[in-house]
Amino acid sequence: MAELAVLKRYGSLRGWMGRWRSFMEYKHFEWLLKEQIRKERAELATMEDRDLLDIGVTREQALAEAARNFNDIPKHRLGSDKLGQGR
């Protein structure tokens, strides 16, 4: 019965597997991006005031950015509007 539902929805097992693979590739990309942003935020929090001044960021802004949640990814960092839909 479950196989019939999959066939009706995706047309074939191959179609279902292709969608699953695409989903998993996106999740892997998303996790790598989150990890990169986490590192950038940690580095931002430890920068000296003169370095922050060079990039036009105040100490308060740097600490606020560093305190953001791991899952809080800015939409412009996702790479395309299609990837950011529904977020």
pTM to 2 decimal places: 0.66
Query: Could you state, in order of their start, the residue ranges of all structural domains in the chain?
Result: 2-84
Identify which has the larger pLDDT, 58 or 1.
Answer: 58
User: In terms of Cα–Cα distance, which of 82, 65, 64 is closest to 74?
Assistant: 65
User: In terms of Cα–Cα distance, which of 40, 33, 38 is closest to 77?
Assistant: 33
Residue 41 has pLDDT above 70, yes or no: yes
pLDDT at site 20: 85
Identify which has the larger pLDDT, 42 or 76.
Answer: 42
Using left for φ > 0, alpha for ψ between -120 and 50, and beta otherwise, residue 62 falls in alpha
